[in-house]
Structure 1
C-alpha cells in the first residue's frame, strides 16, 4: 500500500531518541536492528491479568500490540467481536498469522504439539501439509526462508522457545547459573511456595551479588534479550535509586516465588524454556485444551498487521473501539509520540472503553506528559490497576495501569 511508512523507518521512530553517535544513540540503533527479528517466542505479559482488567465481551472490538501473539490468541477465548493486532517486528507478525492459521486448520492435539510442545520433529511436516497452504505469501515466505541452513519453521521441531532474543537470553542465564553451581531443574521440583522461597533465598538471590552478574546487569545492552530498550532500562534503574540490581532481584523473586510453579508458566519458561501439560495455569490460556474450540471459532476475527499503532488508529473510524492493549510500548515513546497516540486513542474510543498498559518503572508515565485535555476524558482505575499488577505472573514490570473512558 502506498502511504504506509517503511517498517525500518517506523522502528527507528519508535526506538531512536538520541543522536546517532552518542552512547545511548548507538544502543538504540542496535536494539532497533535486533527488533527486525524474533524477540519474543512467548510474550512476557500475563493475558489472564489482561482479561480480568478488560472484561472483554462479544460486542468488543480490541486493538492491541501483537508481540509473540500469546495475548491475541488468549483474548479469543473471551469471544470478542474483532481483534486488530499490530507490531513493528515482521517476525512477530508472521508468528501471529501462523498461530491463527494453525488454529483454523489443525486439531486440538496438533495445535498443542506445535505451539505447546514446539519441539516435535513432525511439526515441520505438519506445517508443510496443513498450515503453509493457508498462509498469505509474505508469511509463508518468512517461515520458508533459510537465514542459515534450516528453514525458519524448523524451530518448531527443535524447541521453539529456545529461540529469539528472549529464548537465547534465558538460555544464557541458565548457563551462568550452572557455572555458579545453581541447577534450575532442582528449583522446578519445588512442591510448595515455601520450598520455592527457600531455594530462591539460598541459591538464586546470591547470584545477584556475583561480580559477573553485577557487571552484565549494569550494561544496558545485556538486557536487550528481555526486550528492554535503553529508555526503559533508565526507568528500571530509577526505581532502584540508580542501581538496577535490587529491582531485578525483587522482580525475579516475584516471578519465581510469588505463585506456585504449577500455576505459573512464566516461571517454567524462565527455568526450562518449555511448558508443562495443556492445563489451566501451566500454559497460556490459548494452549489450555478446553480453549481450542473458541480459538477455531474466532480466529477469523483477527487481523495482524506490520504497522505502528498510531498510524493504524489514524485510519480507523471514530468511537468504535472498546478495548486497547498497549503492552509497554509507551515506555519507548517521546512526549510528542505519546500525545499523537493518545489523540488517536481518544478519537477512536467507544463510550466506556477500557485500556491497559505496563511500565518498566512503578510510576504511571502519562500525567505531566500527555495533554490534560486528552486525559480529561479518561480515568485511571486504581483498583483494577492494583489487582492487575498483583495478578501478573510474569513479574517483569513495575506497574500495571488500567484506564477507562469517561466521556
Structure 2
C-alpha cells in the first residue's frame, strides 16, 4: 500500500469519495454526502467507539489468528494484541486515523514504561508529553507520520502538542461531545455531574431526572430531525437513515435517548470508560474507574512485545483483501462500515471476505439499526457460505458498553 500523505482532504481523497458518494452532487442526498465527507476529512475519532472486550469475545480471538480490521482511533487493534494474534492488518480511509494508529503503536514500542504510555494516551494537561514524543517516539515513526505530528496548526502549535492538553476533546467526535454539553447547559443541565454517581441506582436517577427530559425539548427534537446533526458522531447520511427507520416520528430523539440510557444506566460508571468520555470528557483517574482495555497494566507487556505484528494501510477493506491469498484470514472486524455501503459494495466486500477466509473464520460488525445489514442484500452464493450466530450476537450486544449501536453481529464460515 502507498504511504500516507498527511493532510489530504476530502476533495483529494479518492478512496473516501468512492466509499461515500452515491448520489449526484446537486441532489439533496448528494449535497448531504459531500458535507459529511468534508467534515470526515479531518480527525474524527481520537478514541474508537466499539467495545474491544465484546469484539474479542465475539471473535473468540486466540493466539496465532490473522486479523483484518478497520483502524478508527486505534484502541481496539491494540487491545487485540493482548491475545497475541499472528498478524493484524489495519485499514482506514482517513489519513488522520492512519497517523494516530501509527503514533499509538510507536508509543508502546518506544516509550520506556507503561506509565509513560498512560501519561501520553490517557492523561490530560500533561505538559511533558511533547518532550516524550520528541525524545522517544518521533525517531521511530515513518517520515510521513512524523511530518503529520510535527506540522503546525493555525494556532502555531505542533499537532503533537494536543497530547499536552487532552486529545479526546479534539477531532470531530470531541467537538460533537462538547456541543452536546453546551446544549445541555443551555437547558440547565451539567452533564459532568454524572461523575458524582456512586451506584447504578444513582446513575439512573441522574439520567431520568436530568438527561432524559432533554430529548423532549423542541430545540433538540428539531436538531435531531436533521441528518447533519449527527455528522459529528461520524454518522453518514446512509447511517442516519438506518437510525430513522427505528423512529416512529420525524425526529430520532427517542432512539438517541434509548442509546444514551444504555450508556448511562446499564453499566457501573467505574467500569465504563465510554461513559467517562461522554459525560466528563476525559478518562477516569485511578481512584475513579478503569482505563480502556489496551491501557490496563496487565496487557502492557504483551501489547508492547507484539507491536511489530501490526501493519497500517491507507486502503479500503476490499482493496486490502484483494491482495491476500485465499484462505489466509481468520478474523474480520468491519466496525459499522457496511452501513455506508450500497449492494454492489457489500457484495464486492463479502466476495473477498469469502475468498480469503480460513476454515472457521469469523466476521464481526455493528449496525446503527438492530437488524444485520447484510441479510437480503448478499447474493445467495455468498450468503450461503456463512452462518449467523444470532443468539451470541444478541447476548454480546447487551454487553457493549459503548451503547451507541443497535446491533452487534457475528458470522462464521460454514464448514
Q: Decide: shared fold, TM above 0.5.
A: yes
Aligned counterpart in structure 2 of residue 75 of structure 1, from 80, 90, 110: 80
Between 1:153-162 and 1:22-31, the stretch displaced more is 22-31
For the pair 1:241 / 2:267, whether they are aligned, the reply is no
- Structure-2 residue corresponding to 1:374: 382
Matches within 5 A, 1:251-400: 251-277=259-285, 282-400=290-408
- Structure-1 residue corresponding to 2:235: 228
Superposed displacement of residue 55, structure 1: 1.2
Superposed displacement of residue 279, structure 1: 9.0
Q: Please tell me whether the aligned partners of residues 116 and 278 of structure 1 are also in contact (alpha carbons under 8 angstroms).
A: no
Task: Summarize deviations over 1:125-148 as a string: whole Å, max 9, x none.
Answer: 111111001100111111111131
- Structure-1 residue corresponding to 2:143: 137
Aligned counterpart in structure 1 of residue 125 of structure 2, from 119, 123, 130: 119
Change (3 A) 1:13 1:315: same
Aligned counterpart in structure 2 of residue 10 of structure 1, from 15, 18, 27: 15
CA distance in 2, matches of 1:404, 1:281: 35
Between 1:13-22 and 1:275-284, the stretch displaced more is 275-284
CA distance in 2, matches of 1:278, 1:75: 23
For the pair 1:171 / 2:185, whether they are aligned, the reply is no
Task: Summarize deviations over 1:139-179 as a string: whole Å, max 9, x none.
Answer: 11111111312111111011110000000110111111112
Change (3 A) 1:198 1:397: same
Aligned counterpart in structure 2 of residue 110 of structure 1, from 94, 108, 116: 116
Q: Please tell me whether the aligned partners of residues 128 and 164 of structure 2 are also in contact (alpha carbons under 8 angstroms).
A: yes
CA distance in 1, matches of 2:372, 2:146: 40
- Structure-1 residue corresponding to 2:221: 214
Q: Please tell me whether the aligned partners of residues 58 and 78 of structure 1 are also in contact (alpha carbons under 8 angstroms).
A: yes
Change (3 A) 1:22 1:318: same
- Structure-2 residue corresponding to 1:49: 54
Q: Please tell me whether the aligned partners of residues 169 and 225 of structure 1 are also in contact (alpha carbons under 8 angstroms).
A: yes
Superposed displacement of residue 280, structure 1: 11
Superposed displacement of residue 119, structure 1: 3.3
Superposed displacement of residue 277, structure 1: 3.5
CA distance in 2, matches of 1:12, 1:200: 39
Give the length in aligned residue pairs. 407
CA distance in 2, matches of 1:119, 1:62: 35
Between 1:346-355 and 1:186-195, the stretch displaced more is 186-195
Change (3 A) 1:278 1:45: farther
Superposed displacement of residue 281, structure 1: 6.8
Matches within 5 A, 1:172-211: 172-211=179-218
Task: Summarize deviations over 1:198-256 as a string: whole Å, max 9, x none.
Answer: 11111100101111111111111111110000000000010113541110010010011
For the pair 1:61 / 2:69, whether they are aligned, the reply is no
CA distance in 1, matches of 2:200, 2:404: 19
Q: Could you say what the CA RMSD is over the residues aligned between the two structures, in angstroms?
A: 1.8
Q: Please tell me whether the aligned partners of residues 270 and 288 of structure 2 are also in contact (alpha carbons under 8 angstroms).
A: no
Aligned counterpart in structure 2 of residue 30 of structure 1, from 18, 30, 35: 35
Q: Please tell me whether the aligned partners of residues 119 and 160 of structure 1 are also in contact (alpha carbons under 8 angstroms).
A: no
After superposing on structure 2, the runs of 4+ consecutive aligned residues of structure 1 that deviate more than 4 Å are: 278-281
CA distance in 2, matches of 1:34, 1:77: 33
For the pair 1:89 / 2:94, whether they are aligned, the reply is yes
Helix, strand or coil: the match of 1:84? Answer: strand
Q: Please tell me whether the aligned partners of residues 52 and 293 of structure 2 are also in contact (alpha carbons under 8 angstroms).
A: yes
